[in-house]
Amino acid sequence: MLQYRLGLAFGRLLSYIPFWAVYGLSNFVAWVLEHLAHYRHEVIQTNLAKAFPEKSARERNNIQHRFYQNFADIIVESFKSLRISKHQMQKRLKLRNPEVFENLKKQNKGVIMVMGHHTNFEWIAMGIPLVCPQECFAVYHPLKNRLFNKKIVEIREQFGLQLFKMKETYPFMLNNPSPAPLYVFMADQSPHKGKIKYRTPFLNQNTPVHLGVENLAKKCDLAVVFIDIFRVKRGFYEVEAHLLFEDVKETPQYQVTQTHVQALEKLIQKDPANWLWSHKRWKHA
């Protein structure tokens, strides 16, 4: 209880700091993470070396340096989420091609929107109901601390996103009464070692991937859309949607999975510093 109250008080204090000052704090946090704490330095270096063997050590160090800045921005922006208004979020999150989701909505077609841990993925997920006409849902893994979990859910749902627990994914989606829902799915997490059923090339490595997007799209008759996320400037993001599959029923096995993995790979290769390199993505590769 004390830990929760102290954490919430600190977060609320930071949430009142204006954005221009918040990014000054972010610069300091990035410097601490990189030069004092050496936060997951070896993991990041190893991941970058495997993903980009053609790049020089200097180029990879530059990507790592910019990664820390991206990661620090995500941290401070997460604190701002405690009191960011709907108007502020609408100014800071734009969808470049809303017609992709509008057309699917007109067809009464549900959607799995696939994304990676790229730029501020938290803001994008919580803000997606502000730019899409669908009723929006996202899977989440509950925290052990009930108070922290309640607050995180409250923050993520403040603009209309509805969360459901990871262990309830299949029954929830198969029985969801919403006529044309949109589901937010992260596509770049590593499956548990005992649940690996498929591997595919990803950033120069034979990578185990989840098959949930493909399986659920077929079971629930959902279109599959991948989104590229771009940081236009600090605190301002734009999303570009790519309709990968409008109908997946007749697609060959693993085609959906390979396609969305390749879409993420293309985004990372184009903008490598803003992906979450501190994650042990290839621990079971």
Reported confidence tier of residue 1, pLDDT bands at 50, 70, 90: low
Task: Tell me the average pLDDT of the chain.
Answer: 93
d(CA 234, CA 277): 19
Nearest Cα residue to 210 out of 184, 189, 185: 189
Alpha-carbon distance values, 130 to 86, 123, 136, 240 (Å): 8, 11, 10, 15
Alpha-carbon distance values, 42 to 36, 132, 192 (Å): 14, 39, 22
Three-state secondary structure call for residue 276: coil
Does 10 score more than 70 pLDDT? no
Mean pLDDT of 260-277: 97
Query: Which pLDDT tens digit goes with each residue over 234-247?
Result: 999 999 999 999 99
C-alpha dihedral, 213 to 214 to 217 to 220, nearest 10°: -100
90 phi/psi in degrees, rounded to 5: -65, -30
| CB neighbour burial string for 240-278, b if at least 16 within 10 angstroms, e if fewer | ebbebbeebeebeeeebbbbbbebbbebbeebbbbbbbb
Least confident of 115-129, 182-196, 209-223, 248-262: 182-196
Three-state secondary structure call for residue 285: coil
Q: What is the pLDDT of residue 8?
A: 64
- The whole-model pTM stands at 0.94
Does 3 score more than 70 pLDDT? no
Q: What is the pLDDT of residue 7?
A: 63
Q: Are 114 and 225 in contact (CB under 8 A)?
A: yes
Does 148 score more than 90 pLDDT? no
Residue type, 43: V
Least confident of 145-149, 182-186, 193-197: 145-149
Q: Where do the structural domains in the chain lie, given as residue ranges?
A: 2-274
Does 225 score more than 80 pLDDT? yes
Least confident of 3-17, 67-81, 147-161: 3-17
Q: Are 176 and 137 in contact (CB under 8 A)?
A: yes
Q: What is the pLDDT of residue 151?
A: 85
Q: What is the pLDDT of residue 284?
A: 77
